[in-house]
Chain A
Amino acid sequence: MNFNFIRILSKNNNRNWLGVVSLLLGLLAWYLITRYSGIPNFILPSPLSVWTRLLKALSDGSLIYHTGITLSEIVLGLLVGIMFATVVGYGLAKSRSLEKVLSPYLVASQAIPIVAIAPLLVIWLGDGILSKVVICALIVFFPVLVNTIVGVRAVPIALYDLMNSLHASRSQILWKVEAPASLPVFFGGLRVGATLSVIGAIVGELVDAEKGLGFLLQLGDFQYDTPMVFVAVFTLIALALMLYGIVTLLEKRFLKWQEKN
């Protein structure tokens, strides 16, 4: 492969091939380590054994089933977390007094390791899906909240002056100015929240697991089936990437006006 060919490829394919090459090199390095290092399969399985385990988990339906459970918790947790974070964030952005009252609690809440309180949430909320959704929502809440506050506060004063001069109602200011103007920053928080939501669901499932990818992780560990642990971990990574991709697509869709500008 000569240099010109690489340059043409990079130009034509927007350098996507670099990602593929990086992935292949990573897999090759992983394979070589497992092949020549002497590390046992139960400590670091080879890519081939993980692939074989993935096919088995797909064919017996277990991976699809448990992924569906975790995904439903993630989606619900995301929706709840985003909804609360947006409403509270907007309130805090508009009211310094409210911010003074609530911010110590909000900041303190971020210092609490969610792993430590997850068992308590299970006791308080029961061991059904609710506790997992709440844990997920708690993790999603903060990044979305912060970006909502920053986004709303970043709306230029001139736009408010313009709307006021047009005698716009509060609702019109919200939907015509504040919402679109704060969207770019808001989506930044959403990207972080979407990827973190995966961790939230897993933390909940690790506390009282009987289904979901967290359960598969624990089962794999209990049975010393390390390839299964890797399959569950890679599925979680795929879920996080998928959610990140969806947010990016939404961002492109809703921020088309920004690209034109």
Chain B
Amino acid sequence: MFRKFVLITLGMALALSACGSLQSTNGTGELTKIRLPMGYIPNIQFAPFYVAIQKGYFRDAGIEIEFDYKFETDGVKLVGAGDVPFALVSGEQVLLARAQGLPVEYVTAWYQQYPVSVVAKSELGILIPQDLKGKKIGLPGLFGASYVGLRALLFDAHMSESDVTLDAIGFNQVDLMAAGQQDVVVGYTANEPIQLRARGIPVTEIRVADYVQLASNGILASEKVIKENPELVRAFVGAFLKGLSDVIADPDEAFKISESNIPNFSDLDADVQKQVLETSIEQWKTDRLGYSDPQAWENMQNVLLDMGLITEKMDLNKAYTNEFIP
């Protein structure tokens, strides 16, 4: 009886997974529908995707994208479980996920610079990591890219967490700094420093990327899709990189195209949004778009080992690949 139950359950699971799995482009002109976990809310930083869709790059590649603005870690789990083929993730997530046995691989480096900065009120004169010694630093929590970025900065400056006081404040860096409750915070290079300056608060900024090269945000793929449908991976990456290239070449056009993809965009400060895009583009530019720098992955692994978030070195060649970029 139990055997029958297990078989029925398995049969149902297989049927469901077949329904949810990818239909590769079959030459009939049908588009492959892909739900893409974005890891954040609709934002101008996703302009390469908005542009690639608007200009038909994904359609030409036989792909139809549905954005899914869920949490980054949920996206990684979905990719690991083989429920979706791709997700947008930060570099450290790839190693953390692989350390727990998730069958995932990073296939495109979108950001060439780790997008995290330490932001301080100008009057404190904090200009280099060593200036942070003895300071209280607010950050969303003792996890996530902000925490990893800060620890990498301290690691590079031969400092440790005990040299500073960390204060978990949630994603309230701008409000708490504006309210005078925090003087030094960690945030995203293309967000908090720009928002604070827009509010008339003069700040200095230490960009993690100016001190240490770390594997940053990019496209994660499941080992399943890489093995079973590498053409789809190549098509997806290619279409994205065309969009990325267009945004870098013409930010104004990208700005206009992105408007319709972001709810209430007209209510947002256009100057701030343009700065967010410009700063993001700075972090995307490179000679070979999408290229993963092996040293950046080595550095990320060392930082995670130092933090104790992973306990042993792993085979980084299985964590990322440059096979699918042009």
Within 8 A of A (CB), among B155-213: 166-172, 175-176, 179, 181
Q: Is the CB of B102 within 8 A of A215?
A: no
Binding site for A on B (CB under 8 A): 2, 6, 9-10, 13, 73, 76-77, 80-81, 96-97, 99-102, 138, 140-144, 166-172, 175-176, 179, 181, 309
- Please tell me if the beta carbons of A207 and B170 are within 8 angstroms of each other in the complex: yes
- Interface contact A43-B13, CB-CB below 8 Å: no
A122 touches B309 (CB 8 A): no
Contact B81 A127, beta carbon cutoff 8 Å? no
CB-defined contacts of A226 to chain B, threshold 8 Å: 100
Given B97, B99, B172, B309, which contacts A208 in the complex, CB threshold below 8 Å? B172
Q: How far is the CB of B306 from chain A (nearest CB, A)?
A: 15
Interface residues of A in 200-236 (CB under 8 A from B): 207-210, 215, 218-219, 221-226
Determine if A127 and B168 form an interchain contact, defined as CB atoms under 8 angstroms apart.
yes
**Cross-chain contact B175 with A43 (CB below 8 angstroms):** no
CB-CB under 8 A for A224 and B77, given A127-B168, A210-B168: yes
B167→A210 contact, CB < 8 A: yes
> Which applies to chain B's interface (DSSP): helix, strand, loop or mixed?
mixed
Query: Which of A34-42, A105-113, A138-146 lies on the face that meets chain B?
Result: A34-42
In the assembled complex, which residues on chain B have CB atoms less than 8 Å from the CB atom of A157? none
A1 within 8 A of B: no
Is A119 part of the binding interface, using a Cβ–Cβ cutoff of 8 Å? yes
Asked if B9 and A210 make an inter-chain contact with CB atoms under 8 angstroms apart, the answer reads: no
Q: Which residues of the other chain, B, contact A126 by a CB distance below 8 angstroms?
A: 181
Q: Do B170 and A224 have beta carbons less than 8 Å apart?
A: no
Chain A, range 137-166, C-beta contacts under 8 Å to B: none
A101 CB within 8 Å of chain B: no
Which one of A36, A40, A119, A219 contacts B170 once the chains associate, using CB atoms below 8 Å?
A: A119
How many angstroms from the CA of A81 to the CA of B320 in the assembled complex? 51
Q: Is the Cβ of A209 less than 8 Å from the Cβ of B77?
A: no
CB nearest neighbor in A for B145: A222
A123-B179, A208-B169 given; 5 more Cβ-contact pairs under 8 Å: A37-B6, A207-B170, A215-B142, A221-B73, A223-B99
* Minimum distance in angstroms from B152 CB to a CB of chain A: 16
- Report which of A37, A119, A225 forms a contact with B100, defined as CB distance below 8 A: A225
A209 touches B168 (CB 8 A): yes
Indicate which residue in B143, B167, B181 contacts A222 across the interface (CB closer than 8 Å). B143
Docked complex Cα distance between A241 and B141 (Å):
29
Q: Is the CB of B170 within 8 A of A208?
A: yes
**Nearest CB in chain B to that of A128: its residue:** B167
Give which listed residue, A37, A209, A224, contacts B13 with CB less than 8 A.
A37
Please determine whether B168 and A223 come into contact, CB atoms closer than 8 angstroms. no
Cβ contact within 8 Å between A224 and B172: no
- Minimum distance in angstroms from A118 CB to a CB of chain B: 8
Q: How far is the CA of A119 from the CA of B176 in the complex (A)?
A: 11
**CB of B286, distance to nearest CB on chain A (Å):** 28
> What residues of B have a CB within 8 angstroms of the CB of A123 in the complex?
172, 175-176, 179, 181
Question: Which of A43, A127, A208, A215 is within 8 Å of B77, CB to CB?
Answer: A43
Bound CA–CA A219/B140 (angstroms) = 12
Docked-complex contact B100 and A42, CB < 8 angstroms: yes
Set of chain A residues within 8 Å of B309, measured between Cβ atoms:
223
Q: Which of B9, B80, B81, B142 contacts A219 (CB 8 A)?
A: B142
Give the nearest-CB partner of B309 in chain A. Answer: A223
User: Nearest A residue to B143 by beta-carbon distance?
Assistant: A222
Complex contacts, A43 vs chain B, CB 8 Å: 77, 81
Bound-state CA distance A42–B77 (Å) is: 7
